[in-house]
Amino acid sequence: MDEEFLNDAKTILIVDDEAPIRDILVYNLEKEGYKTIEASDGITAVDIALEKKPDLILLDVMLPKLDGLSVCKRIKNSFNVPILMLTAKDNEVDKIVGLELGADDYITKPFSVRELVARVKANLRKVDVTLNNGQEVKNRNGIQKQQKESKKIVVGELELDLDKFEVKVRGEIVDLTLREFEVLKFLASQPEQVVTRETLLEKVWGYEYYGDIRTVDVTVRRIREKIEKDTSAPKILITKRSVGYYIAEN
Protein backbone atom coordinates (compact mmCIF):
# COMPACT_ATOMS: atom_id res chain seq x y z
CA MET A 1 0.00 0.00 0.00
CA ASP A 2 1.58 3.30 -1.05
CA GLU A 3 2.55 6.00 1.44
CA GLU A 4 0.26 8.60 -0.14
CA PHE A 5 -2.79 6.38 0.43
CA LEU A 6 -1.79 5.75 4.02
CA ASN A 7 -1.50 9.49 4.64
CA ASP A 8 -5.05 9.93 3.38
CA ALA A 9 -6.45 6.98 5.34
CA LYS A 10 -9.34 7.57 7.71
CA THR A 11 -8.80 6.82 11.40
CA ILE A 12 -11.29 4.63 13.24
CA LEU A 13 -11.47 4.36 17.02
CA ILE A 14 -12.51 0.87 18.12
CA VAL A 15 -13.97 0.72 21.63
CA ASP A 16 -14.65 -2.73 23.07
CA ASP A 17 -13.54 -4.44 26.28
CA GLU A 18 -13.12 -7.79 24.51
CA ALA A 19 -9.63 -8.03 22.99
CA PRO A 20 -10.58 -10.74 20.43
CA ILE A 21 -13.29 -8.49 18.98
CA ARG A 22 -10.90 -5.52 18.79
CA ASP A 23 -8.32 -7.74 17.08
CA ILE A 24 -10.82 -8.91 14.45
CA LEU A 25 -11.95 -5.36 13.75
CA VAL A 26 -8.40 -3.99 13.60
CA TYR A 27 -7.33 -6.71 11.18
CA ASN A 28 -10.27 -6.27 8.82
CA LEU A 29 -10.38 -2.49 8.88
CA GLU A 30 -6.64 -2.11 8.34
CA LYS A 31 -6.93 -4.59 5.48
CA GLU A 32 -9.39 -2.10 3.94
CA GLY A 33 -6.83 0.69 4.29
CA TYR A 34 -8.06 2.38 7.47
CA LYS A 35 -5.91 3.43 10.41
CA THR A 36 -7.16 2.17 13.78
CA ILE A 37 -6.79 3.13 17.42
CA GLU A 38 -8.23 1.18 20.34
CA ALA A 39 -9.77 1.64 23.76
CA SER A 40 -11.00 -1.03 26.17
CA ASP A 41 -13.04 1.10 28.57
CA GLY A 42 -15.33 4.11 28.40
CA ILE A 43 -13.14 6.67 30.15
CA THR A 44 -10.16 5.92 27.90
CA ALA A 45 -12.44 6.05 24.86
CA VAL A 46 -13.58 9.59 25.66
CA ASP A 47 -10.02 10.76 26.31
CA ILE A 48 -8.70 9.26 23.06
CA ALA A 49 -11.65 10.55 21.02
CA LEU A 50 -11.23 14.12 22.26
CA GLU A 51 -7.47 14.04 21.75
CA LYS A 52 -7.18 12.18 18.44
CA LYS A 53 -10.45 13.30 16.77
CA PRO A 54 -10.97 10.05 14.79
CA ASP A 55 -13.04 10.03 11.60
CA LEU A 56 -15.41 7.36 12.93
CA ILE A 57 -15.98 5.46 16.18
CA LEU A 58 -17.11 1.86 16.67
CA LEU A 59 -18.50 1.85 20.19
CA ASP A 60 -19.66 -1.10 22.28
CA VAL A 61 -22.55 -0.40 24.65
CA MET A 62 -21.30 -2.62 27.51
CA LEU A 63 -18.02 -1.13 28.72
CA PRO A 64 -16.19 -0.92 32.07
CA LYS A 65 -15.71 2.42 33.88
CA LEU A 66 -18.21 4.28 31.66
CA ASP A 67 -20.92 2.67 29.53
CA GLY A 68 -21.06 3.18 25.78
CA LEU A 69 -24.22 5.30 25.85
CA SER A 70 -22.58 7.78 28.22
CA VAL A 71 -19.45 7.74 26.08
CA CYS A 72 -21.55 8.53 23.02
CA LYS A 73 -23.23 11.47 24.76
CA ARG A 74 -19.96 12.97 26.02
CA ILE A 75 -18.26 12.71 22.63
CA LYS A 76 -21.22 14.08 20.68
CA ASN A 77 -21.40 17.04 23.08
CA SER A 78 -17.79 17.87 22.16
CA PHE A 79 -17.57 17.28 18.41
CA ASN A 80 -19.53 15.70 15.60
CA VAL A 81 -18.19 12.32 14.51
CA PRO A 82 -20.02 9.29 13.10
CA ILE A 83 -20.58 6.79 15.92
CA LEU A 84 -21.66 3.20 15.22
CA MET A 85 -22.92 1.47 18.36
CA LEU A 86 -22.26 -2.24 18.86
CA THR A 87 -25.25 -3.60 20.77
CA ALA A 88 -26.32 -6.94 22.21
CA LYS A 89 -28.56 -9.00 19.96
CA ASP A 90 -32.20 -7.91 20.06
CA ASN A 91 -31.58 -5.27 22.73
CA GLU A 92 -33.95 -2.67 21.31
CA VAL A 93 -33.53 -0.35 24.30
CA ASP A 94 -29.79 0.11 23.67
CA LYS A 95 -30.41 0.79 19.98
CA ILE A 96 -33.06 3.41 20.51
CA VAL A 97 -31.34 5.15 23.42
CA GLY A 98 -28.10 5.23 21.41
CA LEU A 99 -29.84 6.92 18.49
CA GLU A 100 -31.53 9.35 20.87
CA LEU A 101 -28.10 10.32 22.22
CA GLY A 102 -26.79 11.05 18.74
CA ALA A 103 -25.35 7.74 17.54
CA ASP A 104 -25.48 7.54 13.74
CA ASP A 105 -25.99 3.83 13.41
CA TYR A 106 -25.85 0.53 15.27
CA ILE A 107 -25.00 -3.06 14.49
CA THR A 108 -25.88 -6.06 16.64
CA LYS A 109 -23.55 -8.71 18.02
CA PRO A 110 -22.69 -11.22 16.77
CA PHE A 111 -22.13 -9.25 13.59
CA SER A 112 -20.93 -10.04 10.11
CA VAL A 113 -17.54 -8.41 9.56
CA ARG A 114 -18.49 -7.83 5.95
CA GLU A 115 -21.65 -5.97 6.97
CA LEU A 116 -19.80 -3.93 9.58
CA VAL A 117 -17.15 -2.85 7.06
CA ALA A 118 -19.94 -1.91 4.64
CA ARG A 119 -21.59 0.23 7.34
CA VAL A 120 -18.26 1.91 8.11
CA LYS A 121 -17.70 2.72 4.44
CA ALA A 122 -21.25 4.03 4.02
CA ASN A 123 -20.99 6.36 7.00
CA LEU A 124 -17.57 7.69 6.03
CA ARG A 125 -18.65 8.16 2.42
CA LYS A 126 -21.68 10.16 3.52
CA VAL A 127 -19.51 12.44 5.67
CA ASP A 128 -17.11 13.03 2.77
CA VAL A 129 -19.92 13.90 0.39
CA THR A 130 -21.45 16.32 2.88
CA LEU A 131 -18.22 18.04 3.88
CA ASN A 132 -17.13 18.50 0.26
CA ASN A 133 -20.44 20.03 -0.78
CA GLY A 134 -19.96 23.75 -1.24
CA GLN A 135 -16.55 23.93 0.40
CA GLU A 136 -12.97 24.22 -0.73
CA VAL A 137 -11.39 20.80 -1.03
CA LYS A 138 -7.75 19.91 -1.44
CA ASN A 139 -6.60 17.23 -3.84
CA ARG A 140 -3.58 15.01 -3.27
CA ASN A 141 -1.26 17.52 -4.98
CA GLY A 142 -2.29 20.14 -2.45
CA ILE A 143 -4.13 22.27 -5.02
CA GLN A 144 -7.29 23.88 -3.78
CA LYS A 145 -10.35 24.18 -5.94
CA GLN A 146 -13.58 26.02 -5.20
CA GLN A 147 -16.69 23.91 -5.24
CA LYS A 148 -20.23 25.19 -5.79
CA GLU A 149 -21.25 28.69 -4.87
CA SER A 150 -23.12 29.29 -1.64
CA LYS A 151 -26.34 27.29 -1.64
CA LYS A 152 -29.42 27.55 0.50
CA ILE A 153 -32.70 25.69 0.64
CA VAL A 154 -35.66 27.69 1.92
CA VAL A 155 -39.02 26.02 2.48
CA GLY A 156 -41.55 27.99 4.52
CA GLU A 157 -40.06 28.68 7.97
CA LEU A 158 -37.15 26.34 7.30
CA GLU A 159 -33.80 27.54 5.91
CA LEU A 160 -30.76 25.32 5.27
CA ASP A 161 -27.34 26.77 4.49
CA LEU A 162 -25.55 23.93 2.71
CA ASP A 163 -22.13 25.59 3.01
CA LYS A 164 -22.27 26.21 6.75
CA PHE A 165 -24.30 23.06 7.55
CA GLU A 166 -26.58 25.45 9.36
CA VAL A 167 -30.33 25.19 9.86
CA LYS A 168 -32.61 28.06 10.84
CA VAL A 169 -36.26 27.75 11.83
CA ARG A 170 -38.19 30.98 12.05
CA GLY A 171 -34.84 32.79 11.89
CA GLU A 172 -33.33 30.93 14.85
CA ILE A 173 -30.33 28.63 14.42
CA VAL A 174 -31.04 24.99 15.31
CA ASP A 175 -28.24 22.65 16.34
CA LEU A 176 -28.47 19.38 14.38
CA THR A 177 -26.10 16.45 14.08
CA LEU A 178 -24.64 15.78 10.63
CA ARG A 179 -27.05 12.87 10.12
CA GLU A 180 -30.05 14.96 11.13
CA PHE A 181 -28.93 17.72 8.77
CA GLU A 182 -28.64 15.23 5.92
CA VAL A 183 -32.15 13.88 6.51
CA LEU A 184 -33.61 17.38 6.60
CA LYS A 185 -31.67 18.42 3.49
CA PHE A 186 -32.85 15.39 1.51
CA LEU A 187 -36.49 16.05 2.42
CA ALA A 188 -36.30 19.84 2.01
CA SER A 189 -34.78 19.52 -1.45
CA GLN A 190 -38.10 18.04 -2.61
CA PRO A 191 -40.84 19.71 -0.54
CA GLU A 192 -44.29 18.14 -0.46
CA GLN A 193 -42.77 14.96 -1.92
CA VAL A 194 -43.36 11.98 0.37
CA VAL A 195 -40.16 9.97 0.88
CA THR A 196 -40.33 6.44 2.23
CA ARG A 197 -38.30 5.33 5.23
CA GLU A 198 -36.54 2.79 3.03
CA THR A 199 -35.50 5.49 0.58
CA LEU A 200 -34.15 7.66 3.40
CA LEU A 201 -32.22 4.70 4.79
CA GLU A 202 -30.67 4.09 1.37
CA LYS A 203 -30.02 7.67 0.29
CA VAL A 204 -29.05 9.30 3.58
CA TRP A 205 -27.47 6.43 5.51
CA GLY A 206 -25.97 5.07 2.30
CA TYR A 207 -27.13 1.48 2.66
CA GLU A 208 -27.72 -0.56 -0.43
CA TYR A 209 -30.11 -2.79 1.46
CA TYR A 210 -33.08 -2.15 3.69
CA GLY A 211 -32.09 -2.05 7.32
CA ASP A 212 -34.09 -1.27 10.44
CA ILE A 213 -36.45 1.59 9.55
CA ARG A 214 -36.74 2.41 13.26
CA THR A 215 -33.40 4.18 12.77
CA VAL A 216 -35.17 6.65 10.48
CA ASP A 217 -38.14 7.12 12.83
CA VAL A 218 -35.93 7.93 15.81
CA THR A 219 -33.86 10.40 13.80
CA VAL A 220 -37.00 12.14 12.54
CA ARG A 221 -38.31 12.37 16.10
CA ARG A 222 -35.06 14.03 17.20
CA ILE A 223 -35.29 16.53 14.36
CA ARG A 224 -38.88 17.38 15.25
CA GLU A 225 -37.93 18.04 18.85
CA LYS A 226 -35.56 20.71 17.56
CA ILE A 227 -37.58 22.35 14.77
CA GLU A 228 -41.26 22.04 15.71
CA LYS A 229 -43.17 24.24 18.16
CA ASP A 230 -45.43 21.29 18.99
CA THR A 231 -44.12 17.82 18.20
CA SER A 232 -47.59 16.34 18.63
CA ALA A 233 -48.85 18.52 15.77
CA PRO A 234 -45.86 19.10 13.46
CA LYS A 235 -46.14 21.81 10.81
CA ILE A 236 -42.79 21.40 9.04
CA LEU A 237 -41.75 17.72 8.99
CA ILE A 238 -44.91 15.77 8.31
CA THR A 239 -45.67 12.04 8.51
CA LYS A 240 -47.62 10.36 5.73
CA ARG A 241 -49.03 7.44 7.63
CA SER A 242 -47.72 4.02 6.54
CA VAL A 243 -45.65 5.66 3.80
CA GLY A 244 -42.95 8.06 4.98
CA TYR A 245 -42.16 11.73 5.57
CA TYR A 246 -42.19 15.07 3.75
CA ILE A 247 -41.48 18.76 4.30
CA ALA A 248 -44.53 21.03 4.12
CA GLU A 249 -44.19 24.18 2.00
CA ASN A 250 -46.52 26.42 4.01
pTM, two decimal places: 0.66
* Res 42: pLDDT: 95
CATH T-level assignment (fold) for domain 148-247: Arc Repressor Mutant, subunit A (1.10.10)
* Res 239: pLDDT: 94
Give the pLDDT confidence of 69-110 residue by residue, as tens digits: 899 989 988 888 889 988 876 666 677 777 777 788 888 888
Q: What is the mean pLDDT of each run of 10 residues along the chain (250 residues)?
A: 54 95 94 95 96 95 92 89 82 72 82 88 75 45 44 90 86 86 92 91 70 80 92 92 89
Q: What angle do CA 221, 225, 231 make, to 5 degrees?
A: 80
* Res 91: pLDDT: 63
Render 31-94 in DSSP notation, one character per residue: HTT-EEEEESSHHHHHHHHHHH--SEEEEESS-SSS-HHHHHHHHHHH----EEEEEETT-HHH
- Break the chain into its structural domains and give their ranges: 3-131, 148-247
Q: Which residues in 136-217 belong to E strands, given as ranges?
A: 137-138, 144-145, 152-155, 158-161, 166-169, 172-174, 195-196
Q: How far apart are CA 211 and CA 67, in angstroms?
A: 25
106 CB neighbour count, 10 Å cutoff: 22
Architecture of the 3-131 domain: 3-Layer(aba) Sandwich (3.40)
Q: At 245, which helix (H) or strand (E)?
A: strand 244-247
* Res 106: pLDDT: 82
* Res 7: pLDDT: 43
